[in-house]
Structure 1
Amino acid sequence: MPCQISSNSSTNIISKSTIFPATDSTLSDLKLSVSDLPMLSCHYIQKGNLFTKPQVPIPELLPLIKRALSHTLTHFPPLAGRLTTDVDGYVYISCNDAGVEFVHASATHLFINDVVDTIHVPDSVKGFFTFDRTVSYDGHFRPLLAVQVTELNDGIFIGFSVNHAVVDGTSLWNFINTLAEVCRGTKCLSKKPCFSRDSVLISSACLKVPEGGPKVTFDEHAPLTERVFRFSKESITKLKNRINNKKKTCYNNTEVVNEVELIIGEDKVSTLIGNWLKNASVFDQEKSKDREISSFQSLCALLWRAVTRARNFPSNKETTFRMAVNCRHRLTPELESFYFGNAIQSIPTYATAGDVLSHDLHWCAEQLNKNVLSHDDKMVRRFVRNWENDPKCFPLGNFDGAMLTMGSSPRFPMFDNDFGWGKPVAVRSGWANKFDGKISAFPGREGGGSVDLEVVLSPETMAGIESDPEFMEYVSSDVC
């Protein structure tokens, strides 16, 4: 195929080809679940890794990646299939070995530093992905997966565009990790996917799709600013301790101790205070063991307050913070850890702008914590029943200007992708599912509990959080 310019940037498309599984699939059609079907109106997921330049020349590297992809698809046959809808309106993945798209691209005018050493994510990154703004319903007639290898001057980027009605983040990163293992020559795979379809997520309810297929529910072309904020392990620990160590008693107050001494005498007060401290310590330890607010919830609370301040709402304006949660371990019986498909639900937490800003970080984090803790088997099943009563696609977006939606997870193994020339330098994403208030959480490259937040906001809101002292106090100074 002749060289062409990507619509996203000055990336040159050198070639396109179709990669088929190394062996024929024997997997039956997989029915989409109540977690899969709502994603038919979402864009394909676009995630990928940036690497330093391999010593292997590109003409030798590309066939190696293609062979590894072909062999990996034998373990993930749904990704080489297509969506199909039967006469009753039920949607399936047909594991028909139709193949995936493979793209070789060039952006040799770009360096690694052009991607990672910028305050805001440059638009050039969007050219590292194909299937730009493709809606997942289009998987009926387009590949469910595309892999693009883009040459930079001093590195390469491997970008994955995957149908969101077929995978969630857990399934996607398991596939990418497996591809890296196969590319390195690993024979025995460590994390085999499970294609079982016998859980409560598989329903007899039918999603009625409008003529022409569902459309995205947000403005795809709204002006946005994107930045990756880095949070070191030390910074997150400091924030988490601040939130979890909220003073619950006044036993450290010298004025109170002095008053007690005047009433009951100095000799008795030391014994009293000693017992008080001991009992309070035991109580607080037990309470914090049950209700400790996590590092991630602490970060979410920090961001919620900063964005609410920057948006400058009246105090009675209701704000929403949505968090995607993995339901695999929340169901009873649990799903397999590597259940293939979507097994996520979106938990909304509501609070007025006045409450978010008048209370402290502990209060904000506690609201998120309560919702996450309460999302058990009973709640997952309630979400399923509610969807069955009103089957519809997921309304993704910021409809009232006061929403934040957190996706992805710092627990995903995004840096466990050594294809044979070292671990990634960074994680980046494409245009997919981006709107004002869309946040994605990545693990920090240095590991150890560090976190990167990919934040997408309107330009004025981004400027607001970048000048917010409380928020920026915890952001690492170096650019990601």
Structure 2
Amino acid sequence: MMSTPVVERVSECFVKPQQYSTEKSKQICNLTPWDIAMLSCHYIQKGLLFKKPSPVLNKQDFIENMLKKLKHSLSLALFHFYPLSGCLVTQKTKHPSSSYTIFIDCNNSRGARFIYATLDMTISDIISPIDVPIIVQTLFDHHKAVNHDGHTMPLLSVQVTELVDGVFIGCSMNHTVGDGTSYWNFFNTWSEIFQAHGHCHEHVDVPISHPPIHNRWFPEGCTPFINLPFKHHDEFISRYETPLVLENNLGSPRFNMYGNEFGMGKAVAVRSGYANKFDGKVMSYPSHEGGGGVDLEICLSPVVMSALESDQEFLNVVSVSNHLY
């Protein structure tokens, strides 16, 4: 009997922001009621699958050079997205009354985790099956972790998994630090910096297209960061001084997913991890082919999915490739 391939972790390290010296980046980042509401939700887990360049004269050199460039460009990207290198801290205050404050400490943290792993499978093994293989979940770190785990786990973890003919780059980002737009803005920035550096140790200031917004207008005492800027009336906010803890996660076909390149050309597919999956959830991505098309990631029970795939009216307007349960 043939054994089922498994992801094998080869190495692990932590990456801190390059030029980590600005006073602002050393301050704590306070969480808003909307950030705190995400504590019981999973990390955001999204990744891109790339095809290895062909031909590769020396596989070992290719991987080693790519990993060096990924780590270096990641450290430069974290300079702009410094909260991602921090950790969650809960502090209890007794005066004037007992209360708890949760914030991000960017100083006392090891940084973002960076993992290199291998998997004896091909790109076809990942994207050809009608059902997305369960092994895709192991292409991400922080499996089943919730955002509250950011007290002891890195707020950002990157796993680079080498396949037989491809490379999967998957990121797990704490949802209290940012939303889906923030996630892809970080990914886009990382790719932008990677492409701008011809050599892994080249120190060049790269102007980025969309700097993150760390300071937004909010009532006194709330200091959100990274998320999209928006405004709410004070009376609306006052109703949520004790925020509800909820689960919510949205996608958008407007996210720039296929614009990310790391020396291997355009990604062949977007995949997500175990996080934030539930029956009836639908995530939308821009189509790989472009032209305004939209790919849908559908999570349904097997019975319902089977019925949907047998619905001719539905099939007349979509093309079914693969799906998640």
> Normalised by the size of structure 1, how large is the TM-score?
0.58
- Change in 2 beyond 3 A, CA 1:75/1:395: closer
Counterpart for residue 195 of structure 1: 214
1:9/1:126 contact within 8 Å kept: no
Aligned positions of 1:419-438 closer than 5 A:
419-438=262-281
Equivalent residues, number: 296
Whole-Å separation in 1 of the counterparts to 2:140 and 2:247: 24
- Give the C-alpha shift of residue 203 in structure 1: 4.7
Pairing 1:177–2:180 present: no
2:41/2:146 contact within 8 Å kept: yes
Unaligned runs of 5+ in 2: 93-98, 198-205
2:285/2:296 contact within 8 Å kept: yes
2:17/2:79 contact within 8 Å kept: yes
Q: 1:414 aligns with which of 247, 257, 261?
A: 257
1:168/1:343 contact within 8 Å kept: no
Pairing 1:17–2:28 present: no
What letter is aligned with 2:49? L
- Change in 2 beyond 3 A, CA 1:392/1:178: same
Whole-Å separation in 1 of the counterparts to 2:239 and 2:305: 35
2:28/2:104 contact within 8 Å kept: yes
Aligned positions of 1:76-475 closer than 5 A:
76-87=81-92, 88-96=99-107, 98-107=110-119, 109-185=120-196, 187-199=206-218, 203=222, 340-341=226-227, 384-388=237-241, 390-395=242-247, 407-475=250-318
Counterpart for residue 65 of structure 1: 70
SS at match of 1:90: strand
Q: Compare 467-476 and 409-418 and name the one that shifted more.
A: 467-476
Whole-Å separation in 2 of the counterparts to 1:343 and 1:141: 28
Unaligned runs of 5+ in 1: 1-7, 205-334, 345-376, 397-405
Whole-Å separation in 2 of the counterparts to 1:384 and 1:471: 42
2:35/2:177 contact within 8 Å kept: yes
What letter is aligned with 1:104? Y
Alignment RMSD (CA, Å): 2.5
1:53/1:154 contact within 8 Å kept: yes
- Give the C-alpha shift of residue 470 in structure 1: 2.2
- Give the C-alpha shift of residue 102 in structure 1: 0.6
What letter is aligned with 2:122? F
> Normalised by the size of structure 2, how large is the TM-score?
0.84
Q: Which structure shows the bigger proportion of residues in helix conformation?
A: 1
The one-character-per-residue Cα deviations of 1:62-108 (angstroms, maximum 9, x if unpaired) are 1111111111111111000111123231211112153111110101x
Q: Compare 185-194 and 470-479 and name the one that shifted more.
A: 470-479
What letter is aligned with 2:117? A
2:40/2:148 contact within 8 Å kept: yes
For the pair shown, the structure with the greater C-alpha radius of gyration is: 1
2:46/2:170 contact within 8 Å kept: yes
- Change in 2 beyond 3 A, CA 1:100/1:478: closer
Whole-Å separation in 1 of the counterparts to 2:228 and 2:278: 21
- Give the C-alpha shift of residue 16 in structure 1: 1.1
Whole-Å separation in 2 of the counterparts to 1:381 and 1:470: 47
